Amino acid sequence: MTQLALLHSGLTGRIVRCLLINRNFKKKVNLKAILLATTFWLSFLTWGLVEAVDTTRDDITVWLNESVYSDPPAAGTIIGVNDLDRVRSYIPPGYIEEFAYPGSVIAIQPTMNYPGHSTYREATERFKGQARLGSGGALENYTAGRPFSDEQISMASPPNAGLMVGWNQIHRWQGSGYQVDELSMSYLSPTGTDEASGAVPGFEGLGIVERRLTQKFHRVYLNRLAWMPDDNYRIDVPDSDKRFYKDYIEFLGPFNVAGTKFVIERSINPHEDDQVNTYLPTERRVRRLSAKERADSFMGSDVTLDDFDGFAGRVLDYSWTYLGKKKILDVIDTQEPLLRFGGPLSRAIIDQWQLRDCHVVEQRPTWEGHPYESKVLFIDDETYDVAFALAFNHEKKLWKVFDPVYRGARDEGRHLETSVSSWRGQINIDVIRGTATAVQAITDTLHPKMKPSKIKRIFSVSSLTSGQ
């Protein structure tokens, strides 16, 4: 069934039901007014869905090559639904449609600087020109800091420049890692079911939350640590000479997934597959996932493991092509303690947006059977965080949009734990199916230095079965 058919088969009733059950909706309901408002919303919603589904890879190429449609909006500008033409040059087709609804607000922040910690900048300067691309695009002779300079990128061929940007993104300033003790994954549907939840914190639009998972996430970097030159740039744990980082994921709820755990290990060797081990309470055993399962839907969501942060995969699993630079609007410094989502499908981020210069690169999977034909990444040229990403199916139609959200570093790099751009969530939109997964950091994002004993305890495969 198409999105449009889904829309007309049941969304009107779902919107009314959503309004009726909203716990904040306490006054007497005027049904006529609700139906009029619903009709108003649907007129915008229908247009947005049709446009999004029809976006192709060629449309993105045309948009990238167009002259700037208008002057960039100045800091303090508020862009509403009637002003979207002012920002069409800075938000790609297939994504800008999410903001075509009554009451839409895109607030423009001043463009700020987020240079990273002084040790990272010093390492970048110390090892400037040392790193190189080796066989098959592998990163060689790299120690710490940013591997490649803007000058090297500008002088390289499009495939090599793309690889350089990819390696810079992997080795961007991220401190010693980060932890979020509670985050949520909300599964959004355009129609909903009878079991769909009502009002959920952070969702101010008319989207229906079908399911909501909560989890904790910890990441620790073991090697290539700019702030540890006296320790050979690595933490003193047994496998830090082989491992770049480790992730620990534990699902907290609901009850049918609580206790599901993952330990993910990324090797320093760029040709070596990730080790992904998971504990499933229903099976009461640890299972090793294959490398290609990173490209599968994660826990039934609209995002894969490789799609987190816009891109969290292995560089050599893809070919890279540099497409140039583009000024875009991005939520790089959220002002919200909890991300807010609005619009007819609750997929538009309500926040402060900055104009940012981005590298634009295209990825193509290097192995058969990958679900994506290609992916276009917009990577901030200062932080090297992914501003947003567009994934295309094998018919070269826009399939998914990923928009990670960060909070900018607050101290201009003077203190290690507060010098990192902090991940705060991500919207992942399947524009063809009409579904989405909204991820929100509920607790603060922390960047603590971790003792070796704690690393051994948390990030080991044996930890998956502890307490079981």
What is the 3-state composition of the chain as percent helix, strand, coil, each rounded to the nearest 5? 25, 30, 45
pLDDT of the residue at 244: 98
For residue 278, the enclosing domain spans 118-465
Residue 7: Cβ within 10 Å count:
21
Mean pLDDT score of the chain: 88
In a domain, 280, yes or no: yes
In a domain, 372, yes or no: yes
pLDDT band at 78 (very low <50, low <70, confident <90, very high): very high
Give residue-wise pLDDT tens across range 458-467.
999 888 887 5
pLDDT of the residue at 194: 43
Give the residue-averaged pLDDT of 379-406. 98
Give residue-wise pLDDT tens across range 163-219.
999 999 999 999 999 999 999 999 999 875 544 445 789 999 888 999 999 999 999
Give residue-wise pLDDT tens across range 216-236.
999 999 999 999 999 999 999
Cis peptide before 254 (omega within 30 of 0): yes
Residue carrying the six token digits 């830090």:
240
DSSP letter (8 states) at residue 88: T
Give residue-wise pLDDT tens across range 11-28.
433 433 333 333 333 333
Provide the CATH number for the domain around residue 317: 2.50.20.10
Q: What is the DSSP string of 225-278?
A: -TT-GGGTTS-SSTTTTTEEEEEEEEEEESTTTTT-EEEEEEESSTTSPPEEEE
In a domain, 65, yes or no: no
pLDDT over 60 at 33, yes or no: no
In a domain, 102, yes or no: no
In a domain, 31, yes or no: no
In a domain, 29, yes or no: no
Give 6: exposed, middle or buried? Use CB within 10 Å, 0-12, 13-18, 19+: middle
pLDDT of the residue at 50: 35
pLDDT of the residue at 412: 61
Beta pairing class for 106-108 and 386-392: unpaired
The distance of Cα 354 from the centroid of its chain, to the nearest Å, equals 17
Terminal-to-terminal C-alpha distance of the chain: 43
Give residue-wise pLDDT tens across range 317-353.
999 999 999 999 999 999 999 999 999 899 999 999 9
Give residue-wise pLDDT tens across range 413-447.
668 888 999 999 999 999 999 999 999 999 999 99
pLDDT of the residue at 410: 74
Q: Are 73 and 79 in contact (CB under 8 A)?
A: yes
In a domain, 122, yes or no: yes
Beta pairing class for 352-365 and 106-108: parallel
Give residue-wise pLDDT tens across range 82-101.
999 999 999 999 999 999 99
Q: How many domains does the chain have?
A: 1
Residue 38 three-state SS: helix
Rounded distance, CA 165 to CA 359, Å? Answer: 8
Give the residue-averaged pLDDT of 54-77. 92
pLDDT of the residue at 5: 37
pLDDT of the residue at 258: 96
In a domain, 381, yes or no: yes
pLDDT over 80 at 48, yes or no: no
Give residue-wise pLDDT tens across range 106-158.
999 999 999 999 999 999 999 999 999 999 999 999 999 999 999 999 999 99
pLDDT of the residue at 292: 85
